[in-house]
């Protein structure tokens, strides 16, 4: 019997979720269909009701519908509640629909397991304070870094996130314009969680923060290194990565929620990387 899943977003044609989930299904011998859906920006509720009423069992949700999915779910995981957004919906045995957010899992497992970068007792700088950051702060803090600094163009937005996650761990906040006050090579890891790379721009980070030993991670990805990764490489950074591993990792956690089995991430990452370059 074929089980039905889909990803919902607007736009959605660029989504790699069908490629990833069909690869996971083949690997684990699951019989599934996995489609894309692109409702109008105010049409998520109708699409979600239609899909689950027709027997759909799980849905991935991307921009701009993560808050709509949060409101649609009949119950939420603790990490989805903290994130204030849902990227995975799953039908439970009794028929209720669980909302989860797997973005933090995808990021942290990519950094710690696939890349082998340590986070515990390290000094982290996270650039941006939007929804992407809210979805990953919990798991970053649970790694017990020595310091986590959240930098954003507007301080009030960063401070709001810091207050939400204060029960889990301390988050320092700073405006981009004040970053130059930090010492050279101050951070062990810099995570670019802004949307700048999508527009071919750089976040306003002073060069003095970038040292050859700094690990740099861009949550966006592409067939070629992002503008942020090219920039830090020009400054001598030896170790960096894009967000493709995060993408596959968060999908793997969604797959586990739906099917009760965790797929192997590495072969799917390699296949997706080749697919992007084709």
The binding site for NADP(+) consists of 128-132, 152-157, 219, 243
Between vectors from CA 232 to CA 230 and to CA 238, what angle results, nearest 5°? 100
Q: Annotated catalytic, 66?
A: yes
Strands (E), the chain: 3-8, 32-37, 58-61, 75-76, 88-91, 97-100, 123-127, 147-152, 172-175, 189-192, 215-218, 239-241
Whether residue 134 contacts residue 109, with contact meaning beta carbons closer than 8 Å, is answered with no
Please pick, among 66, 122, 123, 266, the residue that the annotation labels catalytic.
66
Q: Largest Cα–Cα distance in the chain? A: 60
Q: Do residues 32 and 60 touch, judged by C-beta distance below 8 A?
A: no
Binding-site residue positions for shikimate: 15-17, 62, 87, 103, 221, 250
Q: In what order do the strands lie in the sheet with 32-37?
A: 32-37, 3-8, 58-61, 88-91, 97-100, 75-76
Task: List, in order, residues 6 or more apart from 70 with CB less than 8 Å away.
Answer: 76, 80, 84, 85, 86, 99
Tokens 């750089």 -> residue = 202
Annotated active-site positions, please? 66
């Amino acid at each position: 019997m074929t089980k039905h899943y889909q990803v919902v977003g607007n736009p959605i044609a660029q989504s790699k979720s069908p490629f990833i989930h069909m690869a996971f299904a083949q690997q684990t011998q699951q019989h599934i269909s996995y489609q894309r859906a692109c409702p109008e920006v105010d049409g998520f509720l109708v699409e979600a009701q239609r899909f689950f009423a027709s027997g759909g069992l799980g849905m991935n949700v991307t921009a701009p519908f993560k808050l709509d999915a949060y409101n649609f779910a009949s119950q939420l995981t603790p990490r989805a509640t903290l994130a204030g957004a849902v990227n995975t919906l799953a039908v439970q045995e009794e028929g209720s629909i669980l909302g989860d957010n797997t973005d933090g899992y995808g990021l942290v497992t990519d950094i710690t397991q696939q890349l082998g970068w340590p986070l515990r007792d390290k000094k982290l700088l996270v650039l941006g304070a939007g929804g992407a950051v809210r979805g990953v702060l919990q798991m970053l803090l649970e790694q017990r870094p020595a310091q986590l600094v959240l930098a954003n163009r507007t301080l009030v937005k960063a401070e709001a996130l810091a207050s939400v996650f204060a029960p889990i761990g301390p988050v320092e906040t700073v405006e981009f314009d004040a970053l130059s006050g930090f010492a050279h090579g101050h951070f062990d890891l810099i995570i670019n969680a802004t949307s700048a790379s999508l527009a071919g721009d750089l976040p306003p980070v002073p060069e003095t923060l970038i040292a050859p030993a700094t690990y740099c991670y861009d949550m966006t990805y592409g067939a070629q290194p992002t503008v942020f990764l090219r920039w830090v490489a020009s400054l001598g950074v030896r170790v960096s990565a894009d967000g493709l591993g995060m993408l596959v990792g968060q999908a793997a956690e969604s797959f586990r929620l739906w099917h009760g089995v965790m797929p192997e991430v590495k072969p799917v990452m390699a296949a997706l990387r080749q697919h992007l370059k084709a």
